[in-house]
Amino acid sequence: MKSLFEQSIISFSGVYAEKGVALYGLRNGNLEMLVSNLGARVVGLWAPGRDGKRANVCLGYRSAEAYMSDEVYLGAAVGPLANRLANGQFTLNGKTYQMPVNAGKNCLHSGALGISKRIWKVRRVVEDSIEMSVEVFPENHQYPGRVVFHLRYTLTPENVLEMYCETVTDSPAPVNVTQHNYYNLKGEAGGDIADHWISMKADHIVEVGETFIPTGKLLPVENTPFDLRGGRVIAHALSEPHPQIALAGGFDHTFVFSPHRPWEEPLVTVVSESAGRKMELFTNQPGVQFYTANSLKTETPGFSGKCYGHRGGFCLEAQNFPDAINQPGFPDSVVTPDHPGAFYAAYKFSVI
């Protein structure tokens, strides 16, 4: 009898197989992962827990059709501009570009121009790694030039999921890439993640206004619910009143890392004591969007057959600051033909 892992590979593509959509299985001994070339989506990730059994710790669907109608970016690679862009506009070298507007008057995750529902070309697959690429050809002055994304997922012997993405352009262009996995260390159908413990090596967050566009200010985390430097249970942090928490209905903010941080140390650690799993994040990005799935609600059942709801997972989206191209004080987001973009994020899993 085939395992659930193997059955999923067989049944995933459905009617989209004719368009080249496929699902691939990666293994490294302790970790197993399902990834599709539809949006470079991580469909499932199995990691061992204290009981010695593997559980799928990534929220996802069993069919390509479900991902085509997905609006919450489950497991997706996101670009060319992740997060929000004020009014969907930016000006570069004296020219203004209008990207698709899909979040009120703003653009979220590049809208219809994004890479999350495109069919990527798979370049190489081995037992523990996959490489794929996709090109974006903007029209009607939406974005400057042609952009090519070269992405690689790897499961390392140290039980790390690595994501590396190189972005190549034929003209200067703003780029902000991220990976939008929703995690639940109790298992993807484990319910509320508020009982998870999290620590974050961040002294500031990016303040946002009513439409979640940055104000340009960085707020110190000292004496706020955002002070996760010593580690806190998520529920305890969320129980403290704060205007930014009230605005978002939870955490949905970019935490700012020091540019002088030690690269070999994890920037974020998340633990599920009940499941005996720990996840650590390493990245070369200046920040991470920590999202507690405040508005998550799916109508399509997930991998386990259950729909996902409020706080059913959490996201750690390593990335540049939102709307950086429009914010003079934020890290530079412009990639040029001579200086390609280089995104790296690694998620290490261990048993406690």
Report pLDDT digits (tens) over 162-198: 999 999 999 999 999 999 999 999 999 999 999 999 9
- Classify the C-alpha dihedral 22-81-309-71 as positive or negative: negative
pLDDT at 229: 98
Report pLDDT digits (tens) over 282-327: 999 999 999 999 999 999 999 999 999 999 999 999 999 999 999 9
User: What mean pLDDT is predicted for residues 319-345?
Assistant: 98
Q: Are 57 and 49 in contact (CB under 8 A)?
A: no
Catalytic positions, written as ranges: 180, 317
pLDDT at 1 over 70: no
- The first and second tokens of residue 344, run together, are 């790296």
Phi, psi of 155 (to 5 degrees): -100, 115
Distance CA 194, CA 292 (A): 8
Q: What is the CATH number of the domain that holds 10?
A: 2.70.98.10
Report pLDDT digits (tens) over 193-233: 999 999 999 999 999 999 999 999 999 999 999 999 999 99
Which secondary-structure segment (H or E) carries 4?
A: helix 4-11
Within 45-191, residue ranges assigned H as helices are 64-68
Distance CA 132, CA 84 (A): 25
Range of the domain at 107: 4-351
Query: Among 323, 249, 254, 255, which Cα is nearest to 293's?
Result: 249
Q: What is the mean pLDDT of the chain?
A: 95
Count of domains for the chain: 1
Q: Which residue has the higher pLDDT, 289 or 261?
A: 289
Distance CA 59, CA 74 (A): 7
pLDDT at 111 over 50: yes
Distance CA 207, CA 345 (A): 23
User: From the CB of residue 340, how many other CB atoms can be counted at a distance below 10 Å?
Assistant: 14
pTM of the full structure: 0.96
Percentage of the chain lying above the pLDDT 70 cut? 97
